[in-house]
Copies of this chain bind each other. A is one copy, B any other.
Amino acid sequence: MGKREIILDAMRKLFKEGKAGTASVSDIAKKAGIAKGGLYYYFRSKEEVLDALLEQEYADIMASCKAVLEQSNDNAISKLALLLKSYRSSYVDASLDEYLHMPQNAALHQKSLAQILSAMSQIISRIIEQGVADGDFVCGYPLAYSEIIMSVFTFLLDPGIFPWTGEETVVKMKALADMLEKGLGAETGSFSFLYGQ
């Protein structure tokens, strides 16, 4: 493990111990077992460590989503269902998620949501294109459709922004399924995996 990796790992440990919020650059360096000056060689501030950690976490999620998809020879609908399942189950570490939802970390949170939206939209877009090629969907705007879908997941369904009840969330998912089935010309009920049936 390189020094950069060791530092990110130390930051990860601080999160698990619930000390990430109050940890100083010195604390991070100490946890990593390196000198403060050594940390500054890789990162200019605690914020840069956090940025890098989040980037890595999301890259890991995207990589595992892509790996799941590559093993599949299914049609587009099944792949979308698989992707959603993989995305939901590989959510970031709870302590990190909690940290992102604190008001003082809203900027970092917003940046993360934007990164997730962009990365996931690329993956979804490829699946929609497959659906079009297979004759399952009709869609002139695969990427923009994907961005609209991800706006719902990253913003409207973020529990830190909107505290919807489970029932309210199901209605939103039914509406999204309805909109997508009609918008993509897919079979009625084919997006029912969105609300878990």
Contact = CB atoms under 8 A, between A and B. Distances in A.
Smallest CB-CB A-B distances: 10 pairs: A144-B175, A141-B175, A106-B106, A106-B107, A103-B107, A155-B155, A179-B183, A151-B151, A151-B156, A182-B182
B156 A172 contact: no
Interface in A95-118: 103-104, 106-107, 109-110, 113-114, 117
Interface of A: 103-104, 106-107, 109-110, 113-114, 117, 140-141, 143-145, 147-148, 151-152, 154-156, 161-162, 171-172, 174-176, 178-180, 182-183, 185
Given A179-B183, A183-B179, A183-B182, A174 B141 contact: yes
Give the number of times this chain occurs in the complex, counting copies: 2
6 contacts: A103-B107, A114-B162, A143-B171, A148-B148, A148-B151, A148-B175
B106 A148 contact: no
Given A103-B107, A178-B183, A172 B144 contact: yes
Contacts of A106: 106-107, 109-110
A161 B114 contact: yes
Contacts of A152: 148, 151
A117 to B, nearest CB: 7
Contact of A183 (B117, B143, B183): B183
Contacts of A141: 171, 174-175, 178
A178 B144 CA distance: 11
A155 B183 CA distance: 21
Given A106-B106, A106-B107, A140-B178, A156 B147 contact: yes
Nearest to A181: B183
A169 to B, nearest CB: 10
